[in-house]
Amino acid sequence: MFELDHRGALGDDTTTQALSVLPLVVLVGATSAVLVKLSSAPSAVKVSYRLGFATLGFAAFSAIAYRDAFREFSGRDLLVASASGIVLGGHYLVWFESLLWTTVAASTTLVQTQTIFVAALAYLLLDENVTRRTVAGLVFAVAGAAFMSLGGLAVGSLLNGANPVLGNLLAIAAGLLFAGYILISRWIRQRVAAIPYVTVVHLLATVVAFLFAAGTGESVALWAYPRYEWLLFFAMGFGPSFVAQSLSNWAIRYVPSNVVSVSYLGTPVVSSIYALVFLAEVPGVGTLVGGALTLFGIYVAIRTP
């Protein structure tokens, strides 16, 4: 088992501040779905430049404010951070690939299995205490996410798509990869600063994404996409990646990984609101009821005693 510094027990002042950051992470991270939908570039290219712009931001921030912090990395920490980057890059690529084979509803639902993976693996590997309150919140949040994504119709939409079995398996794999990223971040953030860590992570994730895009024949040339697409790439990199990942990786040092994981379930809820405002996509009854259930579950999981 891996040892963690549990000084950030729920209820401490710093932990309370970290919990208050999580809603902002969701609000910013939820812009990703709208930005991705507005872009017509290939999925691998979106992932590549999203991560690339984020990496430039993290590297610049690190050079200005955290130049000496990289000395905190041991050889093992650098190796683990690099592995985390590969896992994060793999998550984005696998999840986007799943959308080619199955429905958005099915993929969105199944990728949320990351909360279950995190809760189980954090207990087994990180010796994190999973309270009854957290379990109850997780159950409500996952049920709400499923109800919202499937529009209350459940099983039928899981069987649609060009190759639903492949797509659904890829979505579950993407959830497992994201769970791995959260758990690695929780473990390594006990020793190294957030910004240097995410700089290394996103650098490796960017390399993975560009290699995949090039290997699958997608053009990653600077002149291949219009200015409009570049603005979207930049927005994806700045908001959902640079801002949201900076805040979540700061918070994860002070709160259990399963709590951070459950908070991410709020992203589809907020994304639906953004889609209503910017894309004129009117949410159905299933989205409204499921969203309320998810938000209630998140509240139960992250509220302090």
For residue 148, the model assigns a pLDDT of: 62
- Of residues 156 and 144, more confidently modeled: 144
Residue 255's SS3 state is coil
CB 250 within 8 A of CB 12: no
> How many CB atoms sit inside 10 A of residue 229's CB?
17
Task: Give the Cα separation of 266 and 252 in Å (integer).
Answer: 17
Average pLDDT of span 53-75 = 88
Q: What is the pLDDT of residues 176-216, one digit of tens each?
A: 898 899 889 888 888 888 889 999 999 999 999 999 998 88
Residue 100's SS3 state is helix
pLDDT band for 29, please (50, 70, 90 cuts): confident
Is the whole model's pTM more than 0.95, yes or no? no
For residue 121, the model assigns a pLDDT of: 76
CB 153 within 8 A of CB 27: no
For residue 161, the model assigns a pLDDT of: 55
The rounded mean pLDDT for the chain is 80
Task: Give the Cα separation of 89 and 70 in Å (integer).
Answer: 22
∠ CA 72-78-82, rounded to 5°: 145
**What's the Cα-to-Cα distance from 220 to each of 35, 182, 210, rounded to whole Å?**
19, 28, 8
For residue 225, the model assigns a pLDDT of: 92
Query: 154: buried, middle or exposed (CB in 10 Å: 19+, 13-18, 0-12)?
Result: middle
pLDDT band for 90, please (50, 70, 90 cuts): very high
Average pLDDT of span 46-70 = 91
Residue type, 99: L
Token pair of 114, please?
Answer: 């990351």
Q: What is the pLDDT of residues 229-266, one digit of tens each?
A: 999 999 999 999 999 988 988 888 888 777 787 777 77
